[in-house]
Amino acid sequence: MSEHIVPVKIYVSIFLALVVGTAITVLAAFQDFPGALNVIIALTIAVVKATLVVLYFMHVRYSAQLIWVIVASALFWMGILFALTFSDYWTRGWL
Amino acid sequence: MAESYVEHEVSHPALQHHFENLEQQREAGTLGMWVFLVTEMMFFGGMFLAYTLYRSKFPAAFAIASNHLDIKLGAVNTAVLILSSFTMAMAVYSTQVGKLRAQVIYLVLTIVLGLTFLGIKAVEYHEKYVSNLIPGSLIPGHPFNPDPHAMHLTAGVSMQHVQMFYWIYFAMTGMHALHMIIGVGLLSVILYFSVKGRYSPEYHNPVEVTGLYWHFVDIVWIFLFPLLYLLGRHLGGH
């Protein structure tokens, strides 16, 4: 499998998308949305930005499947870390 | 057998003897860096967990403490880091297509932007020092002791919980800054060999894996900025 070279146009587009995402994050933070919507909006944009960096700047979109497995394993174990910890903390009041 | 031996003789000087060819060497290097980055994600993950836990326990104190951070400097630093990720990606690209002058220029730009980030971070830390917001007794003789009025402390919010935010703030941004310093160090080594002309379209894996590390540190900040600087702004921050 030979190496894929990402064109400059894509790098520029991703950079602009990241700048726009940052601007939207700041603007949205000053609006008072109902409930937990503020943090949901902020984290959704952050996840989208991180995904763009991983897929294009870090070339994962064009990488071997083994790299995908490694990245997915990180998210999987992070999920375990949060799920098990909060299944404890959030249920303590139930006793 | 004899043929492959001859092929070995004329192979690229950067090819290590335990790899079949440069392609395999490159993929192994990239994979190794990704495995390292997984351990880094778990490392920062623990701190993100602590943040989530204490923020859910003390939401009001965290909002008040966060509103004291400098949103302008935080936003500028986010832009600086995103731009540095772009110049890093361009440094890797320039190496891949053999534009070696551009490679050196983009590496220098990335280092300068990284140092700019650290400089702005130092200005922020100094402001926290002046406002007595360094938690505990990390600075001997200069304990955590902010002015409650300057913090806009509301009734029922404990200064201890505000301090908890600052423990997490300094732990996370401090570890992030340390990673930036290490990144600038790595890039300086890459720049040195780049100027010497070591990297080429055939052999550029060191540039690429250093880029992977740099982008990872950028991603950590992409999460830190909204979580630390923006969490209480909608409640009427200043």
List pLDDT tens digits, range B30-79: 999 999 999 999 999 999 999 999 999 999 999 999 999 999 999 999 99
ipTM score above 0.90: yes
DSSP A47-94: HHHHHHIIIIIT-GGGS-HHHHHHHHHHHHHHHHHHHHHHHHHTTGGG
CB-based burial, A28-46: b 16+ in 10 Å, e otherwise: bbeeeeeeeebbebbeebb
- Whether the per-residue pLDDT at B4 is higher than 80: the answer is no
Sign of CA dihedral A9, A11, A12, A17: positive
Per-residue pLDDT band at B130 (split at 50, 70, 90) = very high
Chain B contact present for A78, CB below 8 A: yes
Q: Do A67 and B37 touch (CB under 8 A)?
A: no
Reduced to 3 states (helix: H, G, I; strand: E, B; else coil), residue B197 is: coil
Rounded distance between C-alpha atoms, residue A51 and residue A56, angstroms: 8
Per-residue pLDDT band at B236 (split at 50, 70, 90) = low
Mean pLDDT of A23-36: 92
Contact A29/A46 with Cβ under 8 angstroms? Answer: no
Sign of CA dihedral B6, B8, B13, B17: negative
Residues of chain B contacting A14 with CB distance shorter than 8 Å: 86
Rounded distance between C-alpha atoms, residue B58 and residue B157, angstroms: 9
Residues of chain B contacting A85 with CB distance shorter than 8 Å: 49, 53
Crossing angle, helix A65-89 and helix B22-57, to 10 degrees?
20
- Whether the per-residue pLDDT at A24 is higher than 90: the answer is yes
Mean pLDDT of B174-178: 98
CB pairs under 8 A between A and B: 123
- Closest Cα to residue A21, out of A55, A44, A40? A44
Of the residues B34, B43, B93, the best mutation for testing chain A's interface (the one with the most A CB atoms within 10 Å of its CB) is B34
